[in-house]
Chains A and B, each alone.
Chain A
Amino acid sequence: DIVLTQSPDSLAVSLGERATINCKSSQTILYSPNNRNSLAWYQQKPGQPPKLLFYWTSIRESGVPERFSGSGSGTDFTLTISSLQAEDVAVYYCQHYYTTPLFGGGTRLEI
């Protein structure tokens, strides 16, 4: 099974500062037909369902602010928030869909 390891488990960032969340895959998740990595990112606020932020590593879902970006290659992937806003406080999950979909353990982002 492909395992996703997120780091850090929790992160405190000041308003306006950059937040970086990492997700490491135990093996490649590169989907050959489109040469893209099968990775998505979600944001989950308390008492709410997850919200899709990115798919295929870096394709931003409609409505997601541009301060959010997804990147990565190989087995290392990153979600970056360029300038943290108060409403970004949440738990963030990566998810691969190369084989049976699996989510990472989550990163709690606080101010």
Chain B
Amino acid sequence: QVQLQESGPGLVKPSETLSLTCTVSGGSISDYYWSWVRQPPGKELEWIGYVHYTGNTNFNPSLRSRVSLSVDTSWNRFSLKLRSVTAADTAVYYCARAARGAIYYFHLWGQGTLVTVSS
């Protein structure tokens, strides 16, 4: 059974870079699109971007200037970097896998990790 697990610091200072990794276990990272989705406390979900196992990426235009995504097929994991964070970036960050043959609807999710931006 494929599982996703987010990891990374739970506290990031303003203006610094948020870095998270999603490790895929029980299956291969190949042949799928992998996304990051975040949810500020008490608010709705926001798609951040995807990375394909080939390294192809696409981003939410609202975050494009600050986001980078990468994939490491050797370690079966993919990563998110969000630069110049502010308190508005405080959220639960989820990694998610799109359904086979799809890109933008997500049938497998990690449990999420809360990242707080604060000094």
**Contact residues in B for A102 (Cβ distance below 8 Å):** 47
CB distance from B95 to the nearest CB of A (A): 9
Interface residue SS majority, chain B: loop
Given known pairs A55-B99, A100-B60, the reply for A50 and B44 (CB within 8 Å) is no
Q: Is B45 close to A, CB under 8 A?
A: yes
Cα-based distance from A50 to B110 in the complex (angstroms): 9
Q: Is A106 close to B, CB under 8 A?
A: yes
| Tally of chain A residues near chain B (CB < 8 A) | 20
Cα-based distance from A95 to B45 in the complex (angstroms): 9
Cβ-defined contact, A49 with B47, below 8 A: no
Name, among A38, A42, A49, A93, the residue most crowded by chain B CB atoms within 10 Å (CB to CB). A49
Interface size class on chain B is 10 to 19
Q: Is B103 close to A, CB under 8 A?
A: yes
**Contact residues in A for B94 (Cβ distance below 8 Å):** 49-50
Q: Is B104 close to A, CB under 8 A?
A: yes
Against A, the Cβ 8 Å flags (1 = close, 0 = not) of B55-82 are 0000011000000000000000000000
Given known pairs A100-B60, A100-B61, the reply for A52 and B107 (CB within 8 Å) is yes
Against B, the Cβ 8 Å flags (1 = close, 0 = not) of A76-111 are 000000000000000001010100111111100000
Cβ-defined contact, A61 with B104, below 8 A: no
Cβ-defined contact, A52 with B47, below 8 A: no
Residues of A within 8 A of B (CB): 38, 40, 42, 48-52, 55, 61, 93, 95, 97, 100-106
